Structure 1
């Protein structure tokens, strides 16, 4: 557990619903004192991760296949701070029997999320609230990187290295200055992790880095040696932000 001089607070998200993970991920990114080091769609993968890594807090769904959130907590030898995130009120009693920090009902509001984090680390309450306020005022996450899941590990990707992102149905290709990263995530879930001041959706299948934009027309954008289409639904917003 972090002490007064140790930052950030390491956390993971465990939830089988992609949209629910998106919400919690965005909230974590709003609080610079929190560092997301893992994201899992089931408790078994999270168990494997925790065999090699320690964390300070787990945002944990309860009703999941194979292994429920409560069964997962009972299986842990060392239990970090636990904040349950669930749509089912009936599990509240069982959750609190495990002496968890808090119990958040979906849909989760940011103020309620922040209160739960403050409850987990009361000694850092002022620091957490101040950092969150700055991030909220700026309207973007404070992190300069994201983590993408590759098989059973999380790969750190610097935002400044990303050229553009392409969706291919069941997976996403992230084109960087050095390589191409393929991850089984939706383009919407990746978009939720990105700073709006650095990236923009130009098509249902493409997100581009604004700093890597070489040129554009009303129909296309040029990134590196690649020309990408601008979708009709995204054109007005893109051109407006470019002052055109």
Structure 2
């Protein structure tokens, strides 16, 4: 079973770090992120995720992020998503408990903490399988390193393979289906967006780049006001010239200072994989 989630945090770097940890669990499916109360509320009502990672003590007070968002959700939803508070302050935990949040995590979110949270959520909703079927934190005897033993049934240990994401570009009864794995990058064009595929084809969608940024999951990252890139198609990153090179092409995409954190995260993800630096 998949668990769509939304991250609501005024700090974009924190959004990316939380998402990077969550993406390590095959059952967690990123839906969107928001940086303020209004956008966060609208995203939750539109997508009705099962889990929301929520910052309640924002550095940017104009974002209006707080536990009051939970009260607002009860006005509109019969079933409110599981709220996981992510913040830097321990002293707000008591207030969060009063709002019956699912868990309270101190930022930066650590994988082991999210493991515990997800196990508690699964237990609470009465499911037998666990989130950890492909987790590197499990050894051959199904034990956590430094944690109590977790018994994983044979059925639970085989997670369902997620179907690849398919984008449907719809226009006047014309449905165009695109396998997201074939998309190299998105390029803004006023109020539309050009989608560049690995076969050299370009398809125009009448949605803004900001819309795509809010709905696209990993491995897509915004690197510029005009570009979202699929990190799997990056062959080279030159930080001095502030450009990313696209595989099997002469295309170079610029990245801007405002999205440098996203590029740094991409570099970090490469280094955390099967990686050899020479």
Q: Which residue of 1 aligns with 2:146?
A: none
The 5 A counterparts of 1:178-193 are 178-179=202-203, 182-183=209-210, 190=221
Q: CA–CA distance in 1 between the matches of 2:236 and 2:42?
A: 34
Cα 1:34/1:227, change in 2 over 3 Å: closer
Whether 1:103 aligns to 2:127 is: no
Q: Secondary structure at the match of 2:116?
A: helix
Q: Which residue of 2 aligns with 1:228?
A: 252
Q: Residues 104-141 of structure 1: CA distance to partner in whole angstroms, max 9, x if unpaired?
A: 0012211111211221222447431114449xxxxxxx
Q: Which residue of 1 aligns with 2:196?
A: 176
Q: Residues 32-68 of structure 1: CA distance to partner in whole angstroms, max 9, x if unpaired?
A: 1111112111121121123333111111111233423
* Match among 230, 233, 238 for residue 203 of structure 1: 238
Whether 1:25 aligns to 2:60 is: no
Q: Secondary structure at the match of 2:221?
A: helix
How far did 1:144 drift? 4.8
- Length, aligned pairs only: 195
Q: Secondary structure at the match of 1:74?
A: helix
Q: Secondary structure at the match of 1:128?
A: coil
The 5 A counterparts of 1:57-96 are 57-64=51-58, 65=61, 66-77=63-74, 78=77, 79-96=80-97
Q: Which residue of 1 aligns with 2:7?
A: 13
Q: Which has the higher helix share?
A: 1
Cα 1:67/1:91, change in 2 over 3 Å: same
Cα 1:157/1:42, change in 2 over 3 Å: farther
Whether 1:160 aligns to 2:181 is: yes
Q: CA–CA distance in 2 between the matches of 1:229 and 1:56?
A: 35
Q: CA–CA distance in 1 between the matches of 2:178 and 2:39?
A: 21
Q: Secondary structure at the match of 1:62?
A: coil
Q: Normalising to structure 2: TM-score of the pair? A: 0.56
Q: Which residue of 2 aligns with 1:53?
A: 47
RMSD: 4.2
Q: Provide structure 2 residue ranges, at least 5 long, that are not aligned to the other structure.
A: 138-161, 168-176, 214-218, 255-266
Q: CA–CA distance in 1 between the matches of 2:166 and 2:12?
A: 16
Cα 1:53/1:197, change in 2 over 3 Å: closer
Q: Provide structure 1 residue ranges, at least 5 long, that are not aligned to the other structure.
A: 1-6, 135-141, 148-155, 168-172, 215-222
Q: Residues 151-207 of structure 1: CA distance to partner in whole angstroms, max 9, x if unpaired?
A: xxxxx985423335789xxxxx9852234773497xx98179988765444223444
Larger mean CA deviation between 40-49 and 122-131 belongs to: 122-131
Q: Which residue of 2 aligns with 1:129?
A: 132
